[in-house]
Every structure is written in C-alpha cells, then in structure tokens.
Structure 1
C-alpha cells in the first residue's frame, strides 16, 4: 500500500513537472512574426486612409474645386493671369472662331451635376470664348458679305465642339468682352487631347491671327507650320483657285 501511495505521488510530481515545463515553454516561445506584420499593415492602412481622406477633403473645400465662373465678367484679372485651365462643356458654336462654354468645376463633375440645355437656362451662365491664335472666314454681318468657306469652317467647328467636353485656358479678355482662350478636346485614341486652334489650321479652315493682341501661348511656330502644310496640301479653303483674302483684310475693305 505504501508502494502504491509512493507511485501515485511520483505520477503527480511528474504531472506537475510537465505542466510547469509546458507553461514555461509557452511563455518563452517567440511571438508570431505574421501577427506583427498584420498589425503593422493594418496601422499603415489606417494612416494611409486617413491621409487620403484629408487630401480629398482639402481638394473639395478648395475654392478652385467648387467655384464656377458663370460668364467672362466673373473672371477677375488675377484669375486670367493665373493661366489655369477650366473644364466644361461647349453648349453652342456662335461663329467659326468662337463658342459658348459652360464651366463645370471639380465638385460639379464629381456630383454628376447636369448641364443646362435650354436657352433660358443657359442665359448668363456661359463664358463666351474666342479661340486664340487663329482667324476664320468672316460671316455676313453689319452689312458685310460672307467670305468663301465661312459655312464650312463653322460646320467643322460645330462638329468638333458642340456638346463636347472642352478644356480652356484663358489668356486675356478682348474688346468684345470675350475670353481669348486656348481650347482642347478629348478623343478615345492617341493623341487623346487635341488643340482646337491647331487642328483648325491643319484642316485648312482657319489662318493665323496676326493682328494686335494676338495670343499664341507658346504655339506660334506650330501654328505657322500647320498653316503652311495646309496651304501646300490645298486643304479646306486653300483648295480654292480664287485669290486669298484674310479675314482681317476682308473686314477692313468691306467696312469702309
């Protein structure tokens, strides 16, 4: 009986020793590195998410993101001098070198705000844009007869701009109160962004504007080359066998 009791005590001691050993091994086992990595990754995700949210809020509250310029009169000299680009929609082509532009700032685009379509809704809501660097055949007005290719050049510009997303870069205000701008449109293939003035010169439906106050925004050489190439290829109005009279000359001689 004494031996049985001793054996029982030995088993109990071994059990206690094994329990202590395993407990100590659990305490001394190194931490799982993957758990630390997960914690590190999670903390960085939180920080990155917070930073992106802060940037998004900063962009949305910035005046440039929500301030809309209804007409050219809303554009102050500092705004024009900044030469920053504006995004919007061409609502109408008034003539073959100017159009109406409805400005849609970032917040308007992000919220999917609908652009008005009726004349009443658009009244006093658009910027009158004059394309920079070019002159197109004159239409009939103020008792002056229309130049050849006036209709064709306006049709070209209407097909290119009307109802399309347009980017403009205001350069100055002219004596008619219009904003003289460089303008670009998008297309689904390369090159994705096209300069409207340059393309109109290349198509042969405009000539270089060389009067006082001409604005080229660093594009003069490209414009000159585009016109020379269109002339040589007899594109657009250069296909005519009649002597060429520039829009400026036409206005000068017909206004006497």
Structure 2
C-alpha cells in the first residue's frame, strides 16, 4: 500500500477496524442423505434456455459447414471421385490446364473459384515433389469429353489426321485453355473421361456453350452412336445448328474446290463417324485377311464420278490394251509353271 495510507493505518485505532464475522454466520456443509450423495453437483445451469439455444445453434452451424465443404468446397482430383449422385445434379467449376484434342480438355477443379482464393491465394495445379520443380498442371485434373459433338480426329496411333482437325483443335485451345469453365457432367465413359456439357462465361454476362459454338463453325458434327450419346437438353438445338452450318457450307461442310471437282468428289470431307468406321474396318481387315484390307483400302480412296472428263481419262487408261496385256502376262506365266510341274 502507499506510504501515506500506511502511516494513517498505523495511527488508526483498533476499534475502527470492522469486526470479523461470527462463527454462527459461517455457512454449514450438509452431510447429505441416502437420496442425495455427499459430493453431489448442481447441473441445473446446463439446462437453462440460454445454454440450450447456444448449444443448438453451435451444433447446427458446425454440421452445416461440414456439409457445405463436402458438397461444394471440397476439391475433386479425378473422375473416380465422382459419386453417382453427382451426375446431372451439380456442376464442376475449374481451370482448363490443357487441351488434348478437338473435343476434350483437362480441368483442374477449383471449387468456389476466385472467391475461395484460387489463382491469387491458392495455387492452381499440383506441386511437383522436389525443390524447384514447379507446378504440374496435368496431375490432379479431370479429363473432360465435350458431350453431344464429334470433332475431326487428329493423327494418333499411326492413323492419319482428318481434315479440319487442326482448325478445330486450335479454336478450342484458344477459347478455353488457361481459362475458367463450368462443366455439367452426365456420366463417365469407358476411357475414364467425364462426359458433360462445357460452358464458358464471357464478359461476365452470358454462358457460351462450347459444343454449340463448334457446330456453328462447322468444326464438329452431332455425335452419332447407337448408345451412349449424351446431349442433356440440347439435342434438338444441336441438330438444328448442324443443319444450318451444313446449309451455309462452313468448316467440314464446305463444298470441294476446283481440283476436287475435277477428281469427281461430291463431298469435301468425311465426317468423324465415317472416319472412325473406315479406320476400324482397316484395322479389322489387317487382323483377319488381306482381302478385307484390300476392300477397306479401296473404300478409303476418293470416288470418281461417272461425269467429268478427268474421270473418263482415268478409266480409259485402265482399260487400254497395254494394261490388259500386262495384267494377263502373270496369269500365262503361272499356267506355264503349273504345266512344267505336272510333267515332272
């Protein structure tokens, strides 16, 4: 205490101090009974309305946050993590890390988008192991197959590329790569890809359907298959858009040029479905017999129409006497060799 108070306290009279409480006023401790234990505790304050309301609000908030994280904020690193209840009910928002072909891309799922820090606080991509190895943008991504369309095939597995495949690939790459898109998944296909409609928001106002835009430009056709085709609610719109592109003659529907007309071509480019059918027949012919391979090779050559002076010139060359004599010479030699063998 301060020294002034100490001096005053020393000079005070003992009668000025308050009297200590009497022993009779001290609280007495209950010894308890058979119905109330000796060390009983009072839990009544846990059942007050204020405590119950606070506990209920805290529990409900915790459960709601857990459900929000699991359903909307948890990142999906691969197609195998998608549950059946996810398809046709929810969407995937993410960053396109790369474009593999004209109708497929790689998506890094970024739930919540930039509001949750993706791109400026949280890194997009999986960090490679080891110091200074950077970010691997292909790991932890989903392979997306654009639903409802079939784009020209690029060269792969020893097969030649299809016409307009580079144009379709470059357009899709420039429109989606290193940009955010939203995917509405329908199912997983046999190759482990997520089949779904892909949309990209432009100018922050409207969503652009990638499949519809490729059909308008003649860079793809409507996907034709006996089973497994997915369109969502846009099949009628897709077919109408393809018919309009075919009528305008854009992209793969463009009519053949002067050289093509001289060769008698009636259509410019075969569709992706025709290309796949032809290449499948060629592979099947190689595995079975050379006759099937020859027929498939004949079917792959461009047809020459009956009209056109250049086609008639080709036929006249093949039907000339010199060509017939050359084709008959091996047959005569084969017959002579068989007769010599029989004489021996």
TM-score by length of 1: 0.72
- 2:273 maps to which residue? 248
Deviation of residue 73 (structure 1)?
1.3
Q: 1:200 aligns with which of 193, 211, 214?
A: 214
Asked if the contact 1:88–1:101 (Cα under 8 Å) also holds between the matched residues in 2, the reply is yes
**Residues 99-178 of structure 1: pairs in structure 2 closer than 5 A:** 99-106=105-112, 109-112=115-118, 113-116=122-125, 121-178=136-193
Which segments of 5 or more consecutive residues in structure 1 lack a partner in the other structure? 1-50
Which whole-Å CA distance do the structure 1 matches of 2:127 and 2:165 have between them?
26
Which whole-Å CA distance do the structure 1 matches of 2:82 and 2:75 have between them?
10
Structure 2 CA distance for partners of 1:55 and 1:196, relative to 1, 3 Å:
farther
Q: Which has the higher contact order (CA 8 A, sep 6+)?
A: 1
Structure possessing the higher radius of gyration over alpha carbons:
2
Query: What RMSD, in angstroms, separates the aligned Cα atoms of the two structures?
Result: 2.6
Deviation of residue 240 (structure 1)?
4.3
Which segments of 5 or more consecutive residues in structure 2 lack a partner in the other structure? 1-56, 129-134, 257-264, 283-344
Which whole-Å CA distance do the structure 1 matches of 2:66 and 2:112 have between them?
8
Aligned length: 202
TM-score by length of 2: 0.54
Asked if the contact 2:200–2:207 (Cα under 8 Å) also holds between the matched residues in 1, the reply is yes
**Residues 6-155 of structure 1: pairs in structure 2 closer than 5 A:** 58=64, 62=68, 63-80=70-87, 82-106=88-112, 109-112=115-118, 113-116=122-125, 121-155=136-170
Structure 2 CA distance for partners of 1:123 and 1:194, relative to 1, 3 Å:
closer
Asked if the contact 1:127–1:179 (Cα under 8 Å) also holds between the matched residues in 2, the reply is yes
Which whole-Å CA distance do the structure 2 matches of 1:137 and 1:175 have between them?
20
